[in-house]
Chains A and B, each alone.
Chain A
């Protein structure tokens, strides 16, 4: 039964993802933004996912209709609703919330509070369920069947799938004008995607490298998903549930760029579906381009391998239309978001992290209408919530608690003071984040996300 894993296996999985997350965060650093309090909204989202059993309650119902293995297999295409970033986040965000709560409870115990159970048995069971759900995703999505990335590549498409794309590739022949237009379109779409998702990169996905049969040049993909088309299609957040309107809409809800590259020193990916390339500017290394959009169908109707979504090839003429859309939509969004108050911006960011993945999982199961996805915006506008899964008072508690910046105290050791100083400038960071600065040896014995707690 899902969730039926031993404490030992649970601790191994926690240690595995802890190590990976620490490496990824240290490489990227903390995300800053003048517009959104990223650390703050992220911490609120993680609290909700764990503390209110929100993720467990939704995925339990999803799992009653569709297995995590099947969700993963149906995503083995270009432009799916879920990808490696989504699968990795299923575990990462939940464990992040768990670590916040465990740290809170350990702190209360240390301060002398009695009757504190650091991790109740019910929460351990929920955690095991989430871990077991997660461990079945990536191995059924990635071609090398691992939980987290091996060899820094993300490949999920079959060789047959790749070969069928060959005829759509357009040779570049060192045409700098084409690569310039491509770069600018990608840049405009990147800016739009980050703003429309509160600095979150969930609607951008990069993966590869793949190879055509008779070609040694690596092929990589860059996907932009959830572009605003004004239709409520098979993406929960389209129009109806987002707290903004965009009048100049995108020609398609998603666009996928494929590029073959020559003479690259490095092509690597991390579990956040981010490409690290050398040279960083590889525009003069591009030898051919493919552009597609995936025609949407309801995820509950997808079947691997025969029905995983139809691709429509696009011509280079689409680049200008996409740039125009992204540029004007960015301006509209910017003006709109600039008028939002703190709470609305915070809950918007939290919504992206809390609901993006779970709503698509619910769609795969065909049960998205069983849940209310607008509660973050209802909360922000002071309306009553239409879901029993969320305790409104707890949201306020998380926001207020995290609103206080962490500060050093005299009791702390010098090393701890340095760690806190490094995080002090970020609003809304949970103090457990200082665990990221511990030595590798310490992290090996006591993972970032805490082992299952014995009382």
Chain B
């Protein structure tokens, strides 16, 4: 198990397992309309528009920007979906995470850590 990122954990304290999807376009989201369950999406938009249609179905959300007060964090909290904002990624190529399995752990109220399971 390899630690790949950490950031401010802004919602649910639950541990979660899921498959990573790095969202780079609107089409990436549309492709998940019927397949969002169990996905941990990485998105660099701290608002709700990009992930909006699928947010409630996701296993988790990671965002390198924003904070606990960002729209994405607020709405994730409403859906009780684990969300980590201001993520400090420890790998360069985020698309290399696509389809790989990961685990999100809450270390404290303000810190969440993501591990790559493969």
Contacts and interface: CB of A to CB of B under 8 A. Distances in A.
Interface of A: 31-36, 180, 183-184, 186-188, 190-192, 194-195, 199, 280-281, 327, 330-331, 334-335, 338
Contacts of B80: 180, 183
Interface stretch (B14-22, B25-33, B84-92, B95-103): B25-33
Nearest to A330: B53
Interface string B21-65: 000011101100100000000011111111011011000000001
B99 to A, nearest CB: 22
Contacts of B48: 190-191, 194-195
B78 interface: yes
Contacts of A31: 47
B3 interface: no
Given A32-B65, A327-B56, A334-B26, A195 B49 contact: yes
B53 A199 contact: no
A187 B61 CA distance: 15
25 contacts: A31-B47, A32-B45, A33-B45, A33-B49, A34-B26, A34-B43, A34-B44, A34-B45, A34-B50, A35-B50, A184-B78, A187-B56, A187-B78, A191-B48, A191-B75, A194-B49, A195-B48, A199-B47, A199-B49, A280-B77, A281-B77, A334-B29, A335-B30, A338-B26, A338-B30
Contacts of B74: 280
Given A32-B65, A281-B77, A191 B55 contact: yes
A35 B23 CA distance: 13
A290 B74 CA distance: 22
Contacts of A184: 56, 78-79
A190 B68 contact: no
Interface residues of B, number: 29
Contacts of B56: 184, 187-188, 327
B71 interface: yes
A331 B78 CA distance: 19
A73 to B, nearest CB: 32
A32 B78 contact: no
Contacts of A330: 52-53
Contacts of A281: 11, 77
Interface of B: 11, 25-27, 29-30, 33, 43-50, 52-53, 55-56, 65, 68-69, 71, 74-75, 77-80
Contacts of A194: 47-49, 52, 71
B29 A32 contact: no
B24 to A, nearest CB: 9
A331 B69 CA distance: 25
Contacts of A195: 48-49, 52
B86 to A, nearest CB: 12
A335 B34 CA distance: 13
Contacts of A183: 78-80
Given A191-B52, A195-B52, A334-B52, A33 B47 contact: yes
Given A34-B50, A183-B80, 17 more contacts: A32-B46, A33-B47, A34-B43, A35-B50, A183-B78, A184-B78, A187-B78, A190-B71, A191-B49, A191-B55, A194-B47, A194-B48, A194-B52, A280-B77, A334-B52, A335-B30, A338-B27
B29 to A, nearest CB: 7
A99 to B, nearest CB: 25
A183 B48 CA distance: 15
Nearest to B55: A191
Interface hub of B27, B68, B79 (most chain A Cβ within 10 A): B79
B91 to A, nearest CB: 22
Contacts of B45: 32-34
A247 to B, nearest CB: 15
